[in-house]
Amino acid sequence: MSVYQSNTLSLYDHRCSPFSRYKTQFGLHSSTLTTLFCARLHLSTRNDNEPSPHLFSCYPFTSPMMTDSAKKIALTNADSWLGCSTACQLAEQLEEKCEGVELVCLACKPERLDKLKRYKNVRIEKVDYNDEKTLDKALSGVTCTVLIPENDEHRVESAKNTLTAMKKAEVKSCMMISVEGADGESSHLKELQSYHEIEEQVEQCESYLILRKSILHQCFLLWSHVVRESAEFPISTSKQSKMTPLDMYDLVCAVSTIVIEHCHHEDSFESPPATQPYQLDQECDQQIESWNFGGLGDHKNKTYTLTGPQKVTPECIAKDLTEITGKQIKVKEVERSELKKYLESLGERQRPLGQTLDRDRTIGDGDHDHIPISEIPVELFLDELDLINKGDAGFVSGDLEKIVGHPGNPVKNFLCKERDVFKPHRD
């Protein structure tokens, strides 16, 4: 046996404990470990002029298995308004910053996704969330899944089936888009409780991140008809109920930022200095722990509440609309049932999904078609308003700024951009 072979065996002998730990903790095969840790030999000035095993140091490097070209990110519920909008922005960002990364979009109705089909780095997978085989196929080779729950009454079951398939496919990380109030303390609100049940399942993942969104700016477009026609802003909260609306663009920006970090995380793992042998111990352990072979870095196993930068009330919204439209808009406090009746009367608006999502144009620009009402589950929306009315959604969290580096877009800016949607029609 050569000196090099002998010393290499000594190295593996000496390091068997951490190697075994990494294999157990991260589920890696020995062949993967040998590609991730390159033993570099330094000659000593020993009398026999033989390499000293004590001068070995382990230099991690990115295995071909972990390069960007091999990465796949999955996104569920891509055929929803929020899912498609998120996927479009994410596809653009990945194309620009993570060349070679594939975005796998899971959809029950892929025929609705013409917008997404334009992106070369997007693969659309038709799935049935009750069919294990379709989920297995879609999630094969994926390193991280952006879990956007379905809009129907089966969202909990669909999410559980997806998470089961993720575990089977060894998808290490999951980022869930949840809703404010899904902490389990509002169990009487059925829709919020369903999100809480999904969160509990997500927390069983090896590496997870939960993003609870507050009420979105774009939801205010649902009132444009009644604002134009009756100069009223009917809402099932009190006039002084505090809320912190979030721009959907900021939500999508947060998702994109974290996914980009995920894709580049391996490259940030630095080798220990050559002058310090056996640096695979404490410092290296900490880096690997953070790296987590496709994990979520500093965001791992956390729950954030993403809010807008300001507290506002329905009266504030009405005041802004008055200023924008030039017509006095009054808040009208109504019962949940009355607002539900209004929302359901809007009917489904025919609008391509995922359209006009960028900093210069927001959903609704260019015409008066809103978010399809089918894409805003009425009962969930009403639950969010009940949470606001209860006083449990009137805080600015600051979590958005932790991720994207800015506090977000104020709701007044959004309403100003959408002024034509709220103004009375003129012949």
Per-residue pLDDT of the chain (427 residues), as tens digits, is 444 343 333 333 333 344 344 444 444 443 334 334 433 333 334 444 444 444 333 333 333 334 444 689 999 999 998 999 999 999 999 999 999 999 999 999 999 898 899 999 999 999 999 999 999 999 999 999 999 999 999 999 999 999 999 999 999 999 999 999 999 998 899 999 999 999 999 999 999 999 999 999 999 999 998 999 999 999 999 999 999 999 999 999 999 999 999 988 744 444 444 444 444 445 554 444 444 445 788 999 999 999 999 999 999 999 999 999 999 999 999 999 999 999 988 865 444 333 333 333 333 333 333 466 556 689 999 999 999 999 999 999 999 999 999 999 999 999 999 999 998 765 4
Q: Report which secondary-structure segment, H or E, holds 91.
A: helix 81-97
199 and 88 in a common domain: yes
Residue 197 is assigned to a structural domain of this protein: yes
261 and 130 in a common domain: yes
Write out 253-316 in H/E/C secondary structure. HHHHHHHHHHHHHHHHCCCCCCCCCCCCCHHHHHHHHHHCCCCCHHHCCEEEEECCCCCECHHH
158 and 117 in a common domain: yes
132 and 39 in a common domain: no
Yes or no: say if 75 and 138 are a contact pair by the CB < 8 Å rule.
no
Residue 54 is assigned to a structural domain of this protein: yes
Residue 219 is assigned to a structural domain of this protein: no
110 and 44 in a common domain: no
Report the amino acid identity of residue 141: G
Residue 32 is assigned to a structural domain of this protein: yes
Closest CA to 74 of 188, 154, 4, 171: 171
Any idea what DSSP says for residue 402? H
CATH number at residue 90: 3.40.50.720
320 and 300 in a common domain: no
The domain in which residue 384 lies consists of 314-396+406-422
53 and 141 in a common domain: no
Any idea what DSSP says for residue 170? T
Report the amino acid identity of residue 6: S
Number of domains in the chain: 3
Which of residues 21, 46, 61 is at a domain's end?
Answer: 61
With 0-12 / 13-18 / 19 or more C-beta atoms within 10 angstroms meaning exposed / middle / buried, residue 332 is middle
Which of residues 16, 46, 61 is at a domain's end?
Answer: 61
Residue 254 is assigned to a structural domain of this protein: yes
74 and 39 in a common domain: no
Residue 237 is assigned to a structural domain of this protein: no
Alpha helix segments (H runs only) across 100-221:
132-139, 155-168, 190-202
Tell me how crowded residue 165 is: count the other CB atoms within 10 A of its CB.
26
79 and 37 in a common domain: no
120 and 33 in a common domain: no
Residue 202 is assigned to a structural domain of this protein: yes
Indicate the pTM of the whole model: 0.77
Q: Where are the beta strands (DSSP E) in 5-164?
A: 37-40, 57-60, 72-75, 102-107, 122-126, 144-147
